[in-house]
Amino acid sequence: MASPNEIEPGLVIQGFTPPLWLRDFKLIAFDMDSTLINIECVDEIADAAGRKPEVAAITEAAMRGEIADYKESLRQRARLLSGVTVDQMQQVLDHRLQLNPGAAELVRACQAEGLKTLLVSGGFTFFTDAVRDRLRIDWTRSNVLEVTDGALTGRMVDQTWGDICDGEEKRRMLLQTCADMGIAPAQAIAMGDGANDLPMMGAAGLSVAFHAKPAVREKAMVAINQGGLDRLLEILV
């Protein structure tokens, strides 16, 4: 028997009574890896270097919230990518990266109602730029891998806003975007799957966990545990 909060199979809510009106929101912020897309890009880049198991183990621990210093965990993984070529990253982009089911449909529905879109990722601009262009997302924030002579150096490049997009930077970017738009954070939706998404999800008016880690599902107002991202539209009408 479904629990009281499981309004449909694989769709769990807490803290509110549906439906909500999509038009009452003005911004939707997405995590990228394992949320909008089907892979963890850092793990797939590591596969090209023959280091996927080692990198994936760190990624999994970070997403479960078992690593306190996310920035150091990302630096550690980036070091293991040293020597991977830009051509190999392009192969990941062309042949492994796919939008998750319902991603395009949800983004289009939000855009049709006038919502702006934000992509905030602990991943890398090489991939977020491609996803941005494909979905016509308004703003992105992610990390830059340093490239020399067509190959990764194992380092990341500092940007004007800071060094690494971690959970606190995701939250800051969400709040800054709301301020720039002249809207309240309560008018924003934040969607993610890992522990580093919790700060921005906690700042938004509606938090959505997509096939997420247990700690994220427990704290989200909406948990999509089966089906695609567009299942959110069963709640937002």
Using the structure block, give the residue that is written with the tokens 């080692």.
54
Q: What's the whole-number mean pLDDT along residues 201-226? A: 97
Rounded CA-CA distance 41/226 in Å is 22
CB 31 within 8 A of CB 192: yes
- Which residue type sits at 111? Q
Which band of pLDDT confidence, cut at 50, 70 and 90, is reported for residue 111? very high
Q: Which positions are catalytic?
A: 31, 33
pLDDT digits (tens, 9 = 90+) for 163-209: 999 999 999 999 999 999 999 999 999 999 999 999 999 999 999 99
- Strand ordering across the sheet containing 139-148: 6-8, 11-13, 222-224, 206-210, 188-192, 27-30, 116-124, 139-148, 151-157
pLDDT digits (tens, 9 = 90+) for 118-141: 999 999 999 999 999 999 999 999
pLDDT digits (tens, 9 = 90+) for 62-98: 998 898 899 999 999 999 999 999 999 999 999 999 9
pLDDT digits (tens, 9 = 90+) for 143-153: 999 999 999 99
The values of phi and psi at residue 2, to 5°, are: -70, 145
The values of phi and psi at residue 21, to 5°, are: -100, 120
pLDDT digits (tens, 9 = 90+) for 2-47: 444 899 999 999 999 999 999 999 999 999 999 999 999 999 999 9
pTM value > 0.85: yes
> Quick one: pLDDT at residue 1?
31
- Which residue type sits at 99? L
